Structure 1
Amino acid sequence: MTSFADINLPLEACFIAPADMPLRVGLVVLATDMVIEAEWAQVFNGLPIELLVSRLACEAEVTPAALLTMASQIGQCASLILPDVELDAIAYGCTSASLVIGEHKVHTLLQQGGNCSITSNPFTAAKSALEHLNAKRLAVLSPYVAQVNQPFYSALQSAGYEVIKWGSLDLELDRQIGSMDVDHLPALIEQLFASMEQTPDAVFISCTNFRSMSLLQSLEQRYGCYFLSSNQVMAWHILHQLKTPCAIDGFGRLLASL
């Protein structure tokens, strides 16, 4: 009988040089999110970036009380993404929870868990993108219930933005948000614009579970203002902080401006 030693052929591994390593971007995603991974995969396609995901247990409802329960898990989930490897950046994918928990607390939790200085969350990213575009007058399309919309509206006002119209879908379950038909989005936007007397500088479509990125460019062409989404602004914010010179076409003028 042939032994393993007789057939074993010792080989030598060749490792990627540190300078040739792709950028590693961590993403903490809600267990109920159906959209962000797919949309980010489209954005980062062809770039020297590895997207590494950790899922966070959460309630099915999108309410302030349910959103607050995630705070205790963010750092732990971040720490599970390549625990022995330093990440280049890490993000937390929940717009409403970033508001309820607090964007600065989310930043700290991501830094501590992910051992990484560059972080992002949708609310911080949205404000950074709006400043980059010099957009002050906003319209918002939100899937949330009033309990979430009201503090979101107040936070935007406190940050110095004029919100001239707020479209609310009043959906309480995250799976409802992720199951919306993206082909219905233009009809929602048409209703939003029909209710406004002036054109906003930008329209923000809130929630990482709200499918919209594939239509942002065509909506900008039709209405002549910026169209932003939670997933788009957070992808831009990460790439902007990493100083990655890679204008990305097809997902709105924000990503094309990199």
Structure 2
Amino acid sequence: MKHSRSEFITIRGLRYHVRHWGNEDAPKLFMVHGWMDVAASFQFVVDCLRRDWHVIAPDWRGFGLTDSNGSDCYWFPDYLGDLDALLAHYSPDEPVNLLGHSMGGNVVCIYAGVRPQRIRKLINLEGFGLPATRPEQAPGRYAQWLDELREVPELRAYPAQAQVAARLQKNNPRLTDERAAFLSSHWAAPNDQGEWAILADPAHKLGNPILYRIDEVLACWQGITAPVLWVEADDTNAWRWMGPKEEARGEIDRRIKFIPNVTTALIHDAGHMLHHDQPEALAALIENFLA
């Protein structure tokens, strides 16, 4: 495995953990992870990159080694604010190469449309977004959120690291024992009770009271000026959030058309965690696109 180092910087009042791979003088490539994940998740694809890159990957607020909000819920626009501050810190004057997976893919696509001048090239790994909503859903969504606030959310702890690794493999049967062991050491850590606790703020489990307004999201996507590589896995199940597969496929294809300069690619024999399942194929796609 390629060596990585950790750095802690202050981003919008939070102590942010940022993982670095490669020579700091090499071209920069920023990677941002998805929900309930950590920056170390990109280790395997970084290992497969052939060129010399300075890969910079943060743990989002409330995940991994980055501070939590300190409040009882999370707001999606904060990810945009954190990303903007992070890029200003590491690349204040130059447009960047930016990659996001899942939730991170959704974040980077919105950001690239809001700050198009900041992006050189953009890579979205399965960042489909959430299902479209209707205004009449708002009262029920607010009520659900208020109900959830009455109970303190919890994340399960595990007796040992091996059980954490097994849980990761249950989520992704393609994950090898070696990779599961590595990921479990970054996804969880021993707590004061001697158990292995997930490194995530339980407040992430609360539903968002603000509806996902797809028309606003797509208006941002239309503002992207950088070339975009849209990558999906052939055995993904991420579409299930949007309903039956055929219906979801149509909606995803409709959304892609809002991106002005987009190239699509499919990774075979991979699920939603395609950077774990086929890192070699993904690394080749990334480097060919960025060349």
Q: TM-score range by the shorter chain?
A: 0.3 to 0.5
TM-score, structure 1 normalization:
0.41
The answer to which structure has the higher helix fraction is: 1
TM-score, structure 2 normalization:
0.37
